[in-house]
Structure 1
Amino acid sequence: MTTTPNLRLNVLDQSPIRPGSTPREAILETAELARLADRLGYGRFWVSEHHNTNTLAGSTPEVLLAYLGSQTQRIRLGSGGIMLPHYSALKVAENFRMLETLFPGRIDLGMGRAPGADRLTAYALNPNNTFNEKDFVEQLMDLQAYLRDERVPDTIHERVMAIPQAPAAPELWILSSSGQSGLFAAHLGMAFSFAQFINGTGGPEAVRTYRQRFRPSLELAAPLANMAVFTLCADTEERAQELRAAMDLQLIRFSKGQFTPFPTTEEVRSYRFTAEDQALLRQNQGRVVSGTPEQVHAQFTALAADYGVDEITAVTITADFQDRRRSYELLAEAFELTATTAQRHAELV
């Protein structure tokens, strides 16, 4: 197999609660995957933020990251992402300054403006949330100022600083599934990640626009981008197809507003896909990469070329944890990842 030496691989884990499992088990599985990714040579391990759901356990990335930092040695850890409109910019800055102080040079602060839940839950988290783009941009600018220790006359930044003080700040990323937030990332000189696992179309164009509009900042001299996609890698085509069918069914359920635990292989085998389902399958096709290591390697290489990026983030959910773990192992083997090469890549960023 021909490898792609400049392609870095990352993990985004949503702490899914498998059928018959518990939220605690889901979090412990996330920790096990972080340790595994650290050993295998993945570059980043991000965790997500969701609320008011019985299918995902990850509600507080900043808390979980503190634990994951104690469980790993090298890999960068980050939020994928913090839903910034729920919180004050100062509190987010302090949370991630603390993480950077504990694990220097290893923290990514990825931010989004989606609610990560329904609107009622978003209101409960922050009754003043307007979902306004202007407010989001102002929050981003405030966050940047806190992390830079800016003392701007006649503003709150003249008298309020984010603690603890640290010699460096976390790497700032903006996450988007539409491309609009990519313009904010370009304007503010932040890194940009496109969530193809949420929206299977428009990603390459969004990244190209981000690059064209990018303005250097104190933190980032040149544009930095990646993309994230559902990834299912298996030893055989037959098993990969079974895992893909389960993911297809789950995405169909979500499209219909059915938020249920991830389907088992047995559920998928007994399910009959309707004409409406087939239309949804075509609509969701670009959100998932699946196959044997050789097939996934080819698809990732093509995606990297299409996006013009040198890092891809894999998002893997399966009903059986061993399938999830095996998928990351096979992917690492396909790209010949090692902790040493991942460290060299990190030093170049």
Structure 2
Amino acid sequence: MSSKKLRLSVLDQSPIRKGATAIQAVQETIQLAKFTEQLGYTRFWVAEHHNTGILAGSSPDVLLAHLAAHTSTIRLGSGGVMLPNHSALKVAESFRMLEALAPGRIDLGMGRAPGTDRVTASILNPSNQFREQDFVEQLADLQNYFHDTADPGTIHRSIRAIPQVDTVPAMWLLSSSGQSGLFAAHFGMGFSFAHFINPVGGPQAVKLYRDRFQPSDDLTEPEANMAIFLFCSEDPEKVVQFKAVMDARFLQFEKGVITPLSYNDVKDVVYTEAEQDRIRYNRQRVVAGSPTMVKERLNVLAENYDIDEIMVVTICEDFDDRLRSYGLLAELFELEKLS
């Protein structure tokens, strides 16, 4: 890995800052996509979450269509479409339409988790049984829809995903465990490990994916990346405040409470020993510090994972600080700006 230049990409969840609105959050996603394209980031993925007051991104395909109209070079994708919430045909048609809008620039990143609680997931898709085999069958159906290769002996034989286009979105499986990496290897898809969700076992999952990879019509060699929460700043106090808010946000989420937080909300909180243990664990999900520290840490992670691409998730109180963090990263890794 050390001989390769590290590529950087963005995973954006359209976070709703305290005191801001969902409309502002979506507008910030659009601004961030245009900004990071100019800086030379490789891809920009948007997430799918439901029934939450802190993340506005519920419909990746709709948002991606808008982003496609406001960008020209950066790859756009889902990080991810939560496949059990949808029919395979509907996903295939949505992403074929995106390919028609931005040929050769679309990534279909998919996850097994619902991106919400079980009750909401059951309402999104009342037929969802949360079975692994259903997920595997959806992956096979998707490949067939994209390539018009349905088995003549199945119910899918006369069904085509519309519109019919010449290009196929790059398919990726997203996971915070090794299981989906095995599915990605079997189907010949890309694999993205969510280190920002689970900081343990990622390098091993990526290695297993590479070892088991079977080439497909879409991908002849394994392609992997990892995603991590990150904040880069030249101001040590801003780093301290970012860490404090992230510490509280993780604990809040683990307790089933989800509300926007600011530094003023958490600066005087005293944590129990058990909470401090969780904070130490959760800080493995985050890289936050000065430019020098951040660059060193990302290079170590890239080497440990044996990858040449890292996806960055940045959520902070001030949108300008968020933009500045992505700008500093681009400078650190000498990304090639658009002319």
Q: Tell me whether 1:202 sits opposite 2:189 in the alignment.
A: no
Q: In 2, Cα distance between the equivalents of 1:106 and 1:271?
A: 45
Q: Tell me whether 1:188 sits opposite 2:187 in the alignment.
A: yes
The equivalent residue for 1:346 is: none
The equivalent residue for 2:294 is: 296
RMSD (Å) for aligned C-alpha atoms: 1.4
Structure 1 unaligned runs (5+)? 342-349
Q: In 1, Cα distance between the equivalents of 2:318 and 2:268?
A: 18
Instruction: Quote the offset at 1:42 in angstroms.
Output: 0.4
The equivalent residue for 2:249 is: 250
Deviations 1:100-144 (A, max 9, x none): 110011100000010100111001001110111111000000000
The equivalent residue for 1:230 is: 229
The equivalent residue for 1:278 is: 276
- Aligned partners of 1:50 and 1:116 also within 8 Å: yes
Q: Tell me whether 1:135 sits opposite 2:134 in the alignment.
A: yes
Q: In 2, Cα distance between the equivalents of 1:301 and 1:143?
A: 35
Query: Relative to structure 1, is the Cα distance of residues 340 and 18 closer, same or farther in structure 2, using a 3 angstrom cutoff?
Result: closer
Match of 2:312, SS? strand
The equivalent residue for 2:30 is: 31
The equivalent residue for 1:17 is: 16
- Aligned partners of 2:46 and 2:79 also within 8 Å: yes
Instruction: Quote the offset at 1:62 in angstroms.
Output: 0.2
Q: In 1, Cα distance between the equivalents of 2:114 and 2:128?
A: 10
Q: In 2, Cα distance between the equivalents of 1:235 and 1:161?
A: 53
Q: Tell me whether 1:75 sits opposite 2:74 in the alignment.
A: yes
Instruction: Quote the offset at 1:273 in angstroms.
Output: 2.4
Deviations 1:118-174 (A, max 9, x none): 111001001110111111000000000000111421113321111111111000000
The equivalent residue for 1:146 is: 145
Match of 1:317, SS? coil
More deviation, 67-76/274-283: 274-283
- Structure 1 segments, 4+ long, off by >3 Å, are none
Deviations 1:265-319 (A, max 9, x none): 2223222222122111122121001111111111110000000000000001112
Q: In 1, Cα distance between the equivalents of 2:168 and 2:315?
A: 31
- Aligned partners of 1:15 and 1:57 also within 8 Å: yes
Identity of aligned residues (%): 57
More deviation, 33-42/265-274: 265-274
Match for residue 325 of structure 1 among 323, 328, 335: 323
- Aligned partners of 2:4 and 2:308 also within 8 Å: no
The equivalent residue for 1:40 is: 39
Q: Which amino acid aligns with 2:19?
A: G
- Aligned partners of 1:186 and 1:210 also within 8 Å: yes
Deviations 1:217-254 (A, max 9, x none): 11110110000000011112332122122111111111
Match of 1:339, SS? coil
Q: In 2, Cα distance between the equivalents of 1:329 and 1:273?
A: 34
Q: In 2, Cα distance between the equivalents of 1:280 and 1:256?
A: 12
- Aligned partners of 1:5 and 1:335 also within 8 Å: no
Q: Which amino acid aligns with 2:183?
A: F
Match of 1:270, SS? coil
More deviation, 143-152/118-127: 143-152
- Aligned partners of 1:10 and 1:314 also within 8 Å: yes
Q: In 2, Cα distance between the equivalents of 1:243 and 1:31?
A: 23
Aligned residues: 338
Q: In 1, Cα distance between the equivalents of 2:130 and 2:45?
A: 24
- Aligned partners of 1:237 and 1:291 also within 8 Å: yes
1:105-144 residue pairs with structure 2 within 5 A? Answer: 105-144=104-143
